[in-house]
Chain A
Amino acid sequence: MKHTFIDQYSHKESLLHKIDPRIKVISFLVFILFVISTPKDSFLKFGLYGVLIIGLILFSKISPWSIFKRSLVVIPFTLMIFLFIPFFKEGVVMGTFFLGPLRLEVTYEGLQILGNSLAKAYLSVLCMILLISSTKFSHLLKAVERLGLPKVMLLILSFMYRYIFVIYEEFLKMWQVKEARSVGGSRLFQIKALANMVGTLFIRTYERAENVYLAMCARGFDGNIRTIDNFQLRRGDVFFLLIMILSLMSVRLV
């Protein structure tokens, strides 16, 4: 039972993986800023940003299919919110549907907003997925630390990354034990068992937190977080940042 779902592809070796994580964080954030500040009717620009991000994906040697699969996760959420917009935005009516007694009008402005939001959300998500898949989580943490994220937040994030799997595995193990012993049983019984497991998990997690804290104290933790980082900017990193900004600017100016 080993899990690496967060940064599964971060151990590959490509030029993108080798770029300084700080530079990556900055350039991908800049990318997102450019995307979300694009006027809503410039679909050509969205297309070009898309080309840019696809180029980066190819460059990263991570299989595009896996990135695509991950990106689909967000589609339902975006759609849920945006599906209603075409019906409720006032403007030029494009078509009318009847759902029983309901009369729904799709407006041109509504559709535009939908397309715009979808494009922006999707591009941003692709960008984040690429960042996370091409950077080791521990490097990502250090990068955001160097960029000014408070150390406490940082420690919380690193604990999350460290223990999310442990807790998940604990749950899986309990589940397997339960499965191994349950032969039939009513649905209500199953639900009760699940509730018990969640309760146990809470208590265990609470105790674990306490023990981790004690283990930190045993090694001299006094509330101040000290970390080492060995990041060194190289010429290639600066080059990458400049190329990114240059490409983004040229799309903006198209």
Chain B
Amino acid sequence: MTRKAIEVKELNFSYPDGRKALVDINLDVYEGEALGVIGPNGAGKSTFLLHLNGILRGNSKIKILGIEMENKSLPQIRSRAGLLFQDSENQLFMPTVFEDVAFGPLNMDLSKDEVEVVVKEALKEVDMLDYIYHHPHHLSFGEKRRIALATVLAMKPKILLLDEPTSNVDPKHRRDLINFLKELDNLTKVIATHDLELVFEVCSRVALLDQGRLITSGNPLEILKDKTLLAAHSLEVPRWLSS
């Protein structure tokens, strides 16, 4: 029996302005599983992902790879669960791409040479090695997105938490990204996205969120084909699936 990579019990969370963003979420993700998190805008997908790496802390028990989420286990958890934020502008904060990708590995106390190697590997994965000495500011949206992904990959996480990884990425690189995610089948993945094709190709399970509640979770094909269910939550069955 495979182990649980992520264990979420009775997660409730409200933003400081009182808005309930997550209500009673119970969800387990097993090692090696790829969970697609879908739902309309404002469903709470991003909020949920932020909890899995300890950025937000609702009143709940969350376990990552068997480690209880507490203040003192945060460094451990963060080096194992890498989070791609929805907004790359905030995720790329150093003056050059190289320094940005190196930021995580340096915090893990890798040696200088090791850092160089992992940075280059990660940039190669996202096809951005040529931009290693550029300023993040001068890159396009999709390019920033790919670099942001590299910053996560460079930390060699066991769990990938991706918040809309394909938004604003051009078709070729979106395709590359999907194929790349498919290859990473030894990693546990949680992917929040509106890109249902990505979900269909990469994910082994889908969770549907709406208004902070977990509506259902299950087989991607079954959920993605369910017209009434999707329509009830401002989503629609993709054309290529309905025919």
User: Quick check: B89 and A166 within 8 Å, CB to CB?
Assistant: yes
A161 in contact with B55 given A218-B85, A226-B106 (CB within 8 Å): no
Residue of A nearest to B103 (CB): A219
Residue of A nearest to B148 (CB): A215
The minimal Cβ–Cβ distance linking B71 to chain A, given in whole angstroms, is: 12
User: Quick check: B151 and A219 within 8 Å, CB to CB?
Assistant: yes
Complex Cα–Cα for A35 and B145 (A): 48
User: Quick check: A138 and B90 within 8 Å, CB to CB?
Assistant: no
Find chain A residues with CB under 8 A from B92 CB.
162
A166 in contact with B85 given A218-B55, A219-B151 (CB within 8 Å): no
Q: Is A208 an interface residue (CB 8 A)?
A: yes
User: Quick check: A219 and B104 within 8 Å, CB to CB?
Assistant: yes
Q: Is B93 an interface residue (CB 8 A)?
A: yes
Find chain A residues with CB under 8 A from B83 CB.
218
User: Quick check: A212 and B137 within 8 Å, CB to CB?
Assistant: no
User: Quick check: B137 and A166 within 8 Å, CB to CB?
Assistant: yes
Q: Is B107 an interface residue (CB 8 A)?
A: yes
Residue A208 contacts which of B90, B103, B116 (CB distance < 8 angstroms)?
B90
Residue of B nearest to A216 (CB): B93
Residue B138 contacts which of A2, A211, A212, A218 (CB distance < 8 angstroms)?
A2
User: Quick check: A220 and B107 within 8 Å, CB to CB?
Assistant: yes
User: Quick check: A158 and B104 within 8 Å, CB to CB?
Assistant: no
User: Quick check: B115 and A158 within 8 Å, CB to CB?
Assistant: no
User: Quick check: A219 and B155 within 8 Å, CB to CB?
Assistant: yes
User: Quick check: A217 and B78 within 8 Å, CB to CB?
Assistant: yes
User: Quick check: B106 and A228 within 8 Å, CB to CB?
Assistant: yes
Residue of A nearest to B83 (CB): A218
Q: Give the residues from 190 to 246 in chain A that come closer than 8 angstroms, CB to CB, to chain B.
A: 208, 211-212, 214-222, 224, 226-228
User: Quick check: A212 and B90 within 8 Å, CB to CB?
Assistant: yes
Find chain A residues with CB under 8 A from B103 CB.
216, 219, 221
Q: Is B199 an interface residue (CB 8 A)?
A: no
Residue A222 contacts which of B75, B91, B136, B155 (CB distance < 8 angstroms)?
B75
Q: Is B70 an interface residue (CB 8 A)?
A: no
The minimal Cβ–Cβ distance linking B201 to chain A, given in whole angstroms, is: 26
Q: Give the residues from 46 to 105 in chain B that come closer than 8 angstroms, CB to CB, to chain A.
A: 50, 53, 55, 74-75, 78-79, 82-83, 85, 87, 89-96, 99, 102-104
The minimal Cβ–Cβ distance linking B102 to chain A, given in whole angstroms, is: 6
Complex Cα–Cα for A220 and B96 (A): 19
Find chain B residues with CB under 8 A from A228 CB.
99, 102, 106, 112, 115-116
The minimal Cβ–Cβ distance linking A83 to chain B, given in whole angstroms, is: 39
Find chain A residues with CB under 8 A from B90 CB.
208, 211-212, 214-215
Q: Is B221 an interface residue (CB 8 A)?
A: no
Q: Give the residues from 43 to 88 in chain A that come closer than 8 angstroms, CB to CB, to chain B.
A: none
Complex Cα–Cα for A2 and B151 (A): 23
A137 in contact with B107 given A220-B75, A220-B155 (CB within 8 Å): no
Q: Is B215 an interface residue (CB 8 A)?
A: no
Find chain A residues with CB under 8 A from B115 CB.
228
Q: What is the 8 Å Cβ interface bit string for chain B, positions 124-150, against chain A (1 contact, 0 not)?
A: 000000000001111000000000000
Q: Is A159 an interface residue (CB 8 A)?
A: yes
Q: Is B184 an interface residue (CB 8 A)?
A: no
Find chain B residues with CB under 8 A from A221 CB.
103, 107
User: Quick check: B107 and A226 within 8 Å, CB to CB?
Assistant: yes
Q: Is B27 an interface residue (CB 8 A)?
A: no
User: Quick check: A227 and B137 within 8 Å, CB to CB?
Assistant: no
The minimal Cβ–Cβ distance linking A151 to chain B, given in whole angstroms, is: 12
Q: Is A141 an interface residue (CB 8 A)?
A: yes
Q: Is A165 an interface residue (CB 8 A)?
A: yes
Q: Is B108 an interface residue (CB 8 A)?
A: yes
A162 in contact with B137 given A215-B91, A217-B55 (CB within 8 Å): yes
**Which B residues are within 8 Å of any A CB, using their own CB?**
50, 53, 55, 74-75, 78-79, 82-83, 85, 87, 89-96, 99, 102-104, 106-109, 112, 115-116, 135-138, 151-152, 155
Q: List 14 A-B contacts (CB under 8 A).
A: A159-B93, A162-B92, A165-B137, A166-B89, A208-B90, A214-B90, A218-B78, A219-B82, A219-B152, A220-B104, A221-B107, A222-B75, A224-B107, A228-B115
